[in-house]
Amino acid sequence: MGEDAKTVKLKLPERPAAPSGAPPLKMLVVNDDLAIRLRLADLLAPHCPSAVIDSCTHAAALEMRSRLREYAAAIVVVDFAGTPPPLEALQVVAQIKAVARSIAVTVIGRNGGERSAVEALRAGAIDYWSLHHVDASALVDALRAHFVSTGASSTMSVAVVDTGPLIAGYRIVKELARSPRATLYLADSEELHQQVAIKVHGHRERAEASDSEQDRFLRECRLLSQLNHRAIADVFDFGVTDECHWLAMEYFPAGSLKARLRHPVAEAEAIAYIRQVGSALRVIHAAGVVHRDLKPSNIMLRADDSLALIDFGLARPSQSDSGLTSPNVRVGSPAYMAPEQVQGNPPDERCDLYSLGIVFYELLTGELPFNAPTIQAILEMQLKATPPALPSQLARYQPVLDGLLSKRPIQRFTSADQFLEALAVASGHVPMRRKA
């Protein structure tokens, strides 16, 4: 079986164990696009905390045959405007059901409509959702209801979502997001009389909660406290309890740039957004800080459409020798990682500019410039692949992208200021300077 046909084990954060004597719930996310599978797994995980979530391609799902019976539920993503045609793609649903009749299949449609939902249910799905309007909580509730109505044995019906830690002065409202490193909660602040976001790093019964992890947390708190600028999320408080260390910061009800990218972004919006991100980088670089994990999910939107950077857990002083990250250790997100980060070399401001180029391309086109079915393939593209050319109507921005996405740091823009000047020229905001 080739690499693309393997089931990918998604590394999820630690979750409560299944009830005594009950096997863990197993779910399978099926789609040929790894990025979509990872996104869905991230959405589902907080709502079924004791579950094991695997993912694979359509072809791999069919190759699993009898092993499909190990799964209680499958989430199959179908592109109703893609290739193969939707009816042929929906055959995956019918074939999964033919092998494992008890599996609960939910279809998530891309570019679909009412007719798509009807066809999905005919193929054997128990539910249908649009990819851009997936409510993970409601989807999991529907699966629970299905298991109860059919009498199926599943730990999903008794799984309890973590209600969050006890932090004096704050009342946890709900979980917003979860990663292997931290959990983000919405909370009411008694002192501020407003809602805040609390980033929590749990360490109860975790022997592996090393001094370096806590050093990273304290460094993030100090960095955010020092970077007092509208382009950076406001920090209100931080502390340590017996259960966790936590950081209370500005809450962004409008969500992240990642969520905004699920819908088309007009050219003028893209330029306005990327200019703000460039300005934010100018601020942190002037403070001698490299973010190292710039990506849409770490760029938040306010109600007035202004942006703010968050998640400085990987940030470090430029050219730092603190030793908090060992040489030749990759940090960051593969789809947005600069070549020097892939190679484990010490980063400087130019690695943030490379990540900015990825975000810029994604804003302009709705697609990632470097995308592949496996993480290793994406990293290889970051090292070697030439960025795809922009569509002709956006060609004036190609020199700006080239100045951001060069594989060699020495050939990139030297600063966020230089990028902002080039962007202004390309977008027609200022006249081209004459060379001396």
Domain count, the chain: 3
Which pTM was predicted? 0.59
Q: What is the pLDDT of residue 385?
A: 94
Residue where a domain stops, chosen among 97, 131, 157: 157
Residue 108 three-state SS: strand
Assess whether 13 and 146 both reside in one domain: yes
Of these residues, 79, 127, 237, 293, which one is catalytic?
293
Distance CA 287, CA 157 (A): 50
Residue 106 three-state SS: strand
Distance CA 129, CA 116 (A): 10
Look at residue 431 and tell me if it is in a domain. no
Assess whether 200 and 263 both reside in one domain: no
Residue-wise DSSP of 180-238: SS-EEEEEEETTTTEEEEEEEEE-TT-TT--HHHHHHHHHHHHHHHH--STTB--EEEE
Name the residue range of residue 196's domain. Answer: 170-250
Could you tell me the CATH number of the domain that includes residue 263?
Answer: 1.10.510.10
- Residue 277: its H or E element: helix 267-286
| Residue recorded with tokens 């500019």 | 353
The helix/strand count (H/E) of the chain reads as 13, 15
Assess whether 231 and 277 both reside in one domain: no
Residue where a domain stops, chosen among 225, 250, 275: 250
For residue 16, give the nearest of 8, 25, 7 by alpha carbon. 25
Residue where a domain stops, chosen among 157, 181, 216: 157
Could you tell me the CATH number of the domain that includes residue 180?
Answer: 3.30.200.20
174-208: pLDDT as tens digits: 887 776 667 888 899 999 889 999 988 775 444 44
Look at residue 433 and tell me if it is in a domain. no
Backbone angles phi, psi at 362, to 5 degrees: -65, -40
Distance CA 428, CA 380 (A): 35
| Alpha helices (H) in 151-180, listed in sequence order | none
Q: What is the pLDDT of residue 419?
A: 97
Look at residue 49 and tell me if it is in a domain. yes
Assess whether 217 and 262 both reside in one domain: no
Assess whether 268 and 244 both reside in one domain: no
Look at residue 280 and tell me if it is in a domain. yes
Assess whether 59 and 206 both reside in one domain: no
Assess whether 285 and 370 both reside in one domain: yes
42-72: pLDDT as tens digits: 888 888 777 788 888 888 888 887 788 888 8
| DSSP one-letter code for 259 | H
CB neighbours (10 Å) of residue 284? 25
Q: Is 54 part of the annotated catalytic residue set?
A: no
Given a cut of 70, the residues of the chain with pLDDT beneath it are 1-24, 82-89, 149-163, 179-181, 203-214, 216, 220, 224, 312-332, 429-436
Amino acid at site 169 = G
